[in-house]
Amino acid sequence: MKFDINRIIRSNIRALRPYSTARDEFKGTASIYLDANENPFASAFNRYPDPKQNALKQAISQLKGVGPEQIILGNGSDEVIDLLIRAFCEPGVDNIIVPQPTYGMYGVCADINNIKIRQPLLTFDFEIDLQPIYECVDPKSKIIFLCSPNNPSGNLLNRDKIKSLIQSFSGLVVMDEAYIDFADSVGFLPFLDDYPNLVVLQTFSKAWGLAGLRLGVGYGSEEVIQILTKIKPPYNINSITQQKIKEAIDNGKQTQDWIGILKQERKELETAIKQLLFVVKVYPSQANFLLVKMKDAKACYQYLLTKGIIARDRSSTVLCDNCIRISIGTPDENKILINALNDYQNTNP
């Protein structure tokens, strides 16, 4: 299907003239800045951050092999999710499609913006089920959100099914790849130029270990990125974040080392947890967590709490009966976890 951005953009957004900052209007360097009502006295942070985030985008562009004009930076990927919904979904009229179970923020952002959410189910092993998705699509469907590797299940979604969805849908398909660094797949960035209606989300919050800095990245066609850039808050990425993320990229080997350790730990933790008698199933994971089905997830969750270990109880999530989600910790933390799970087994025969 031919993608036409004019079919999906909200008319007020198309007509919007964005706020122009002092630094948008003056390009170049000067010796005296009297244009932005900043406090002139010396301080590391008296100046507004670069609203275009040029240096940081350049670094991310080189890291990922995607042009800077195809990149939008958000205060966490959560901000990019919100921008997507606000740019393309008309409150009270449009809908998004979010196959379940998955990350909760797509639905929350839609609720905040009064956008209807259609929630077809994934299969029992959390794979894409095309038919129920197609049945949800109508002319008011603007975005399909997919998460791969999926949270909370950990699996990568089937590549061919994703491609057929992208090709047949006349709105945007957003692939949330928050966990792609832990997967044996490069994800969908290589297909960006094939599909003008594909948006890929990644983040520095997980593998990069920088959740506190809040940096999410959206990749898409130039026309989509232009619209999101037009509506973002001008100074959405603060100076420290712009600087520290750039340093982390320059020091990328550290991240690769962490990923290697966490993948090894994931494998060992999976093996150890599978041996526990109260464990029904450990779902195969391509992320930095494991979804574990148990005989009594709430009891195990409570037991871990008494040991000071907090997992995520997912047992009231659809298709996740009696499941808890456990993030992969350091080797020491994982040993303590396994000991606690063994104690739980011994006290609950």
Ligand X SMILES: *Cc1c(COP(=O)(O)O)cnc(C)c1O
Give kind and range of the element (H or E) at residue 173.
strand 172-176
Asked if residue 123 lies in contact with residue 294, where contact means CB atoms within 8 angstroms, the answer is no
Residue 211 found at the interface with ligand X (CB under 6 A): yes
Stretch that binds ligand X, among 34-42, 205-213, 223-231, 328-336 (CB under 6 A): 205-213
Closer residue to ligand X in complex, CB, 235/278: 235
Which residue reads 């928050």 in tokens? 178
**Min dist. Cβ of residue 107 to ligand X (A):** 12
Query: Is it true that the peptide bond before 49 is cis, omega within 30 degrees of 0?
Result: no
Closer residue to ligand X in complex, CB, 291/341: 291
**Min dist. Cβ of residue 342 to ligand X (A):** 29
Residue 166 found at the interface with ligand X (CB under 6 A): no
22 Cβ contact partners less than 8 Å away, ≥ 6 residues apart: 35, 36, 48
**Min dist. Cβ of residue 81 to ligand X (A):** 8
Which residue reads 């994800």 in tokens? 187
**Min dist. Cβ of residue 179 to ligand X (A):** 7
Query: Is it true that the peptide bond before 149 is cis, omega within 30 degrees of 0?
Result: yes
By CB under 6 A, name the one of 76, 99, 101, 171 that touches ligand X. Answer: 76
Residue 147 found at the interface with ligand X (CB under 6 A): yes
**Min dist. Cβ of residue 222 to ligand X (A):** 23
By CB under 6 A, name the one of 82, 90, 94, 176 that touches ligand X. Answer: 176
By CB under 6 A, name the one of 49, 120, 216, 218 that touches ligand X. Answer: 216
Which is nearest to 149 in space by CA: 162, 138, 164, 136? 162
By CB under 6 A, name the one of 51, 87, 88, 103 that touches ligand X. Answer: 103
Residue 78 found at the interface with ligand X (CB under 6 A): yes
By CB under 6 A, name the one of 178, 189, 320, 326 that touches ligand X. Answer: 178
Angle between helices 331-347 and 252-274 (to 10 degrees): 20
- For ligand X, the nearest residue by Cβ is 76
Return d(Cα 18, Cα 20) in angstroms, integer: 6
Stretch that binds ligand X, among 28-36, 64-72, 204-212, 237-245 (CB under 6 A): 204-212
Closer residue to ligand X in complex, CB, 210/338: 210
CA dihedral 292→298→303→309, nearest 10 degrees, is 60
User: How is 262-297 classified by DSSP, letter by letter?
Assistant: HHHHHHHHHHHHHT-TTEEEE---SSSEEEEEES-H
- CA 46 → CA 27, 239, 335, distances in Å? 19, 10, 46
Return d(Cα 88, Cα 154) in angstroms, integer: 28
**Min dist. Cβ of residue 149 to ligand X (A):** 9
**Contacts with ligand X, 269-308, as mask; x by CB under 6 A:** ----------------------------------------
How many residues in the chain? 349
By CB under 6 A, name the one of 70, 197, 203, 288 that touches ligand X. Answer: 203
> In angstroms, how far is the first alpha carbon of the chain from the final one?
57
**Min dist. Cβ of residue 97 to ligand X (A):** 16
Return d(Cα 21, Cα 155) in angstroms, integer: 43
Closer residue to ligand X in complex, CB, 157/276: 157
Phi, psi (deg, nearest 5) at residue 206: -110, -85
Please list the residues that pair with 224 across neighbouring strands: none
Return d(Cα 164, Cα 144) in angstroms, integer: 13
Closer residue to ligand X in complex, CB, 209/260: 209
Closer residue to ligand X in complex, CB, 178/328: 178
Binding site for ligand X (CB under 6 A): 76-78, 103, 147, 151, 176, 178, 203, 205-206, 211, 216
